[in-house]
């Protein structure tokens, strides 16, 4: 049995891509997209007709609506291949606007429903800012399920659990990147690998907290840099993995053991934790890594959204 098939015994495997033509080979349950992945896809020859036809059909509409229709077009293509859910992201430029995030999310769901897609097959991705988390809480109460992304800290995860969001995506690789860069020449790759990887440790802390306190929010590790980070989180609720790393797992037959255990987590002696807005903002501010990576991630998604708009205007 290869490692990808072994991983599927413990964890729901999700493909992290906008390149839906790659999905069939790996048979993931779900798939995730983001502005950067969609931008990357539409620059490939295979997907340029999809961009062109969407723009041509809706050219008279506002640019933000054309963007959402393009995202939903990709989502529908993905859902025709996978059995589960697709995650589609609200424009990152709304990351600090609760009401606008809710409105945009509702439009995305309406567009999916107009294509015959049931609401339960879509997760609306929202950045895990305080405003984004409050938007997600409203959406969940309205029956729209959410995936809180750009999550780097324990306080973000706790606040998401309090908001009863469907799923969170802690970014393993970007946490690893920050600590490696911060350590500089002192970084010891071997000593910081596997279970000792700072991104892996962050997800394990969140997973244990959720299972200990019966929080139903799903934990989906994301943003992996290497196979070792993935195998160290075998047993996590879900893991979203790039096609390149899915291929690496499929090509490897080394043994794979379950690393996270919900029953063991329930027996841990952990303190109950909760946040209001003020304590959340302070906790996030005190975490330099999370503060920097959250801001950096939002900036990057905003920049890619603008690039995607420029491609639509040129189409």
Catalytic residue set: 125
* CA geometry: angle 227, 232, 236, nearest 5 deg: 110
Nearest Cα neighbor of 172 from 135, 226, 134, 215 is: 226
Nearest Cα neighbor of 238 from 9, 24, 43, 13 is: 13
Burial (0-12, 13-18, 19+ Cβ within 10 Å), 233: buried
SS3 of 279, please?
Answer: helix
- Asked if residues 23 and 81 have their Cβ atoms less than 8 Å apart, the reply is yes
* CA geometry: angle 145, 76, 118, nearest 5 deg: 45
Nearest Cα neighbor of 200 from 234, 166, 159 is: 234
């Amino acid at each position: 049995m290869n490692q990808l098939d072994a991983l599927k015994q413990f964890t729901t495997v999700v493909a992290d891509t906008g390149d839906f033509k790659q999905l069939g080979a790996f048979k993931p349950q779900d798939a995730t997209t983001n502005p950067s992945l969609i931008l990357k896809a539409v620059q490939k020859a295979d997907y340029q007709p999809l961009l062109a036809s969407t723009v041509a059909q809706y050219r008279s509409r506002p640019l933000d609506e054309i963007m959402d229709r393009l995202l939903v077009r990709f989502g529908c293509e993905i859902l025709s291949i996978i059995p589960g859910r697709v995650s589609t992201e609200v424009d990152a430029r709304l990351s600090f606007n609760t009401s606008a995030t809710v409105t945009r999310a509702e439009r995305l769901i309406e567009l999916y429903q107009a294509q015959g897609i049931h609401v339960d097959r879509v997760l609306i991705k929202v950045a895990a800012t305080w405003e984004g988390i409050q938007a997600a809480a409203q959406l969940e109460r309205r029956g729209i399920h959410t995936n809180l992304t750009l999550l780097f800290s324990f306080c973000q995860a706790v606040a998401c659990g309090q908001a009863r969001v469907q799923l969170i995506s802690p970014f393993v690789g970007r946490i690893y990147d920050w600590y490696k860069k911060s350590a500089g020449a002192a970084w010891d790759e071997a000593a910081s690998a596997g279970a000792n990887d700072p991104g892996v440790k962050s997800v394990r802390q969140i997973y244990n907290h959720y299972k200990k306190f019966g929080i139903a929010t799903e934990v989906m590790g994301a943003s992996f840099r290497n196979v070792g980070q993935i195998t160290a989180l075998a047993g996590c609720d879900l893991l979203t993995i790039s096609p390149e790393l899915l291929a690496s797992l499929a090509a490897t037959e080394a043994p794979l053991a379950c690393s996270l255990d919900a029953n063991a987590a329930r027996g841990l002696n952990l303190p109950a934790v909760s946040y209001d807005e003020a304590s959340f903002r302070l906790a996030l501010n005190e975490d330099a890594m999370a503060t920097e990576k959250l801001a950096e991630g939002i900036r990057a998604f905003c920049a890619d959204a603008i690039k995607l708009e420029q491609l639509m205007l040129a189409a």
